Amino acid sequence: MRPFDYARADDPAGAVAAVAERPDATYLAGGTNLVDHLKLGITAPDLLVDLGRLDLADIEELPDGGLRVGAMVRNSDLAADPRVRRDHPMLSRALLSGASGQLRNAATTGGNLLQRTRCVYFQDPTTPCNKRAPGSGCSALGGYTRYHAILGASDACIATHPSDMAVALAALDATVVVLGAGGETRIPVTQLHRLPGDEPERDTVLEHGDLITAVELPPPASGTRSTYRKIRDRASFAFALVSVAAVLDLDPDAAQPTVRSARIALGGVAHAPWRARRAEQLLAGAPATRESFRRAAAAELEQARPVEGNEFKVTMARGVMVSVLAELAGLGEENEEPHDE
Note the residues at the interface with other proteins (CB under 8 A).
1, 3-6, 8, 28, 31-32, 35-36, 38-40, 48, 50, 52, 76, 79-80, 82, 85-86, 89, 92-93, 96-97, 99-103, 105-106, 235-237
Minimum Å gap between C-beta 219 and other proteins is 17
DSSP secondary structure letter of residue 341: -
Type of residue found at 271 = H
Minimum Å gap between C-beta 106 and other proteins is 5
What is the rounded CA–CA span in Å between residue 139 and residue 197?
Answer: 16
Instruction: Decide whether 1 or 254 has the Cβ nearer to other proteins.
Output: 1
Handedness of CA 54, 57, 61, 64 (dihedral sign): positive
Q: Are 216 and 184 in contact (CB under 8 A)?
A: no
Cβ-proximal residues to 267 (8 Å cutoff; 6+ apart), any chain? 160, 161, 163, 164, 166, 167, 230, 240, 242, 243, 244, 245, 273, 274
Instruction: Decide whether 93 or 318 has the Cβ nearer to other proteins.
Output: 93
Minimum Å gap between C-beta 171 and other proteins is 16
Minimum Å gap between C-beta 293 and other proteins is 21
Minimum Å gap between C-beta 112 and other proteins is 14
Instruction: Decide whether 109 or 130 has the Cβ nearer to other proteins.
Output: 109
What is the rounded CA–CA span in Å between residue 316 and residue 334?
Answer: 15
Instruction: Decide whether 9 or 151 has the Cβ nearer to other proteins.
Output: 9
Instruction: Decide whether 86 or 208 has the Cβ nearer to other proteins.
Output: 86
DSSP secondary structure letter of residue 136: S
What is the rounded CA–CA span in Å between residue 216 and residue 81?
Answer: 15
Minimum Å gap between C-beta 290 and other proteins is 23
Instruction: Decide whether 164 or 300 has the Cβ nearer to other proteins.
Output: 164
